[in-house]
Amino acid sequence: MRTAPTILHLDMDAFFASAEQASKPSLRGKAVVVGGLGPRGVVATASYEARVFGVHSAMPMAQARRLAPNAAYLVPRFGFYKSISEQVMGLLRSLSPLVEPLSLDEAFVDLEAGGVAWDEASARLAGVKLRADIRAVTGLTGSVGLAASKMLAKIASEQAKPDGLVVIEPGTERALLGPMSVRTLPGVGPATGDHLRRAGITTVDEIAEAGDDELVRLLGKAHGHGLYAMALAHDERPVVAERETKSVSVEDTYDVDIHDRVRVGLEVQRLADRCVRRLRGAGLSGRTIVLKVRRYDFSTLTRSETLRGPTDDPAVVREAAARLLDAVDTTGGVRLLGVGVSGLADYTQEDLFAQAAGEERADRPPEESDDRPEGEPEAPVERRWPAGHDVRHAEYGHGWVQGSGLGRVTVRFETPDSEPGRVRTFQVDDPDLEPADPLPLVPHMPPPAPHEPPCAPASNEPHLPPASHLPPASHESPTPLGTRRPDGPDGPGTAVSQDSSGPATLPKSRSGNAGGGATSRP
Ligand SMILES: [Mg+2]
């Protein structure tokens, strides 16, 4: 392990919610919850103001609404977040060729490989400058952790949140880790965490005390050894620039086609469990769940669902696989089934349950990979005004949907650099109103003046004129934020998205056999 804290972990603060607040002046300093607003929706990100009420990622949306009824509830704009993410990743790549993204808003950087840091002082300097650059280019804040290993760098950034920088000095790692929860360690998801707790192991120190043999007995050879080493703060994993496309998958071919839908469902559950066992055996987790179905006529379908982040929880994979199966027509019989997990990582994050995939579906048009059986209805497209999404009105200009329902849509007209704007209500089919692209958060590059932070303070109250001053064509909406749901933009998902960029098909070379070849990760 290196002797200087030159591995950097960046994690943007409450990323989706912060991006929304920067985008919508009226929401700055307010509780904002981004996530699926449908019946099965979960919270993707809560702003720090919303976290005060106990709202957190992965919480069912209904529970969040009970805790914070006055928060703004917004449907994610993944395209917008992705464009900000690209700016951030660009800054990271200017520091080092070794940048390993973990999600849209999180990445490791090997500063030493980039020649920008070689000791604590230079690493700290690089971290400080990076945070300032991110702020200048995106208008958002990110927290930085610096340590001599990936595991510790990630722990450091967690401690730095929000809007901070923490350096863990080499030599202090074990004392720091000892009292922490086992869940702090890479590869310990909810399932592994429960398993360890049943064995009486809840802290990192207790893993160290239990010893290597006991860990191997509990978790198997690969996972047990790895975790024991991590507990001793031994983490030699390099920062890997490009993750090869890898997946862990299993599949079964049936001698006789399966016609019974219930049986098909059970087979998929069984395959999901088997797939997760291999995944966890390799100490990995994955983001994208893939279902493969070969039908009686040899037509082969793959369906995939991408979670917000990696999981190794069998329940999550089972649920995702079952949802994918829901959208597949199996009448006529099935001759092969497969379940795979790709988008592999060696981290598992608590806030990344499968339901979060519902939000991604809400943002992407449904696509299919192979074919669409005749007679299968097209997915409904009537979801024009998701809460939080951008619109443009011929007369009033750029705004965002504050809510819709009962044939009307309420729009707040404001832009990232405007004062908090005014609300107007229109008929949903108003010809003057159309969906729009998000506006950039920082209009003029480079950086804005330091005393004009894009995220204004909480005191930034809307300045609404009296209702009588409004033109007769519209009126001030009495609807508080988030109390109306959009007209079913993300009901119980019928649409299943195909992750077109990802490895949607199951590599044959890894399929089938129970042992070995589960992954090509070193
Ligand atoms: Mg983050």
Task: Summarize the confidence of residues 3-19 as an average pLDDT.
Answer: 96
Ligand 1 geometric centre to CA of 174 (Å): 25
User: What's the mean pLDDT in 221-238?
Assistant: 89
CA of 352 to the centre of ligand 1 (A): 12
Is residue 206 predicted with pLDDT exceeding 90?
A: yes
Q: What is the DSSP string of 366-406?
A: ---SS---TTPPPPP------TT-EEEETTTEEEEEEEEET
Q: How far apart are CA 444 and CA 448, in angstroms?
A: 7
Whole-angstrom distance, CA of residue 495 vs CA of residue 42: 17
In the reported structure, the alpha carbon of residue 337 is separated from the centroid of ligand 1 by a whole-number distance in angstroms of: 36
Q: Which domains does the chain have, with CATH numbers?
A: 1-171 (3.30.70.270), 176-231 (1.10.150.20), 247-373+498-510 (3.30.1490.100), 385-443+472-486 (no CATH)
Ligand 1 mean position to 171 CA, how many Å? 27
Which has the higher per-residue pLDDT, 379 or 216? 216
Looking at residue 187, the DSSP 8-state letter turns out to be: T
C-alpha of residue 67 to centroid of ligand 1, in Å: 22
pLDDT of residue 332: 84
Q: Give the DSSP H or E segment for 151.
A: helix 150-160
Residue numbers belonging to the annotated binding site for Mg(2+)? 11, 105
Estimate the share of the chain in helix, then strand, then coil, as percent rounded to the nearest 5: 30, 20, 45
* Ligand 1 midpoint to CA 106 (Å): 6
Write the secondary structure of 496-510 as one string of H (helix), E (strand) and C (coil).
CCCCCCCCCCCCHHH
Confirm whether 106 is a catalytic residue: yes
Question: What spacing in Å lies between the alpha carbon of 29 and ligand 1's midpoint?
Answer: 18
Q: What is the pTM of this model?
A: 0.63
Lowest mean pLDDT among 97-111, 283-297, 411-425: 283-297
| CA 287–ligand 1 middle distance (angstroms) | 16
Choose, from 20, 100, 106, 112, the residue flagged as catalytic. Answer: 106
Amino acid type, 14: A
Structural contact between residues 405 and 484, judged by C-beta atoms closer than 8 angstroms = yes
User: Is-contact 268 322, C-beta < 8 A?
Assistant: yes
pLDDT tens, residue by residue, 285-335:
888 899 999 888 777 888 888 887 788 889 999 999 999 999 888 888 898
Sign of the CA dihedral with 144 first, then 146, 151, and 152 last: negative
Quick: pLDDT tens for 482-518.
Answer: 333 333 333 333 233 333 333 333 333 333 333 333 3
Ligand 1 geometric centre to CA of 329 (Å): 38
- Indicate if the pLDDT at residue 341 is higher than 60: yes
493 three-class SS? coil
HSE (side-chain half, CA atoms, 13 Å) at 484: 22
Q: Which residues pair with 107 in a beta bridge?
A: 10, 101
Is residue 401 within 8 Å of 411, Cβ to Cβ? yes
Average pLDDT over all residues of the chain = 79
Decide if pLDDT at 452 tops 80.
no
What pLDDT score does 311 carry?
A: 85
What pLDDT score was predicted for residue 367?
32
* Backbone CA torsion sign across 96, 102, 107, 113: negative
Listed in sequence order, the residues at least 6 apart from 249 whose beta carbon sits closer than 8 Å to its beta carbon are: 275, 290, 292, 338, 339, 340, 341, 342, 506, 507, 510, 511
Q: 13 C-alpha to center of ligand 1: Å? A: 5
Structure tokens at 475: 């009126």
Which amino acid does the sequence have at 157?
S
Ligand 1 centroid–CA 17 distance in Å is 10
Q: What is the distance in A from the centroid of ligand 1 to the CA of 212? A: 33
| Of the listed ranges 163-167, 431-435, 460-464, the one predicted with least confidence | 460-464
Classified as helix, coil or strand, 2 is: coil
Please determine, for residue 110, whether its predicted confidence score (pLDDT) is greater than 70: yes
CA angle 33, 461, 83 (to 5 degrees): 45
Question: Rg for the chain (alpha carbons), in Å?
Answer: 24
State pLDDT tens for residues 13-42. Answer: 999 999 999 999 999 999 999 988 877 778
pLDDT of residue 463: 38
Token pair 């080493």: residue: 229
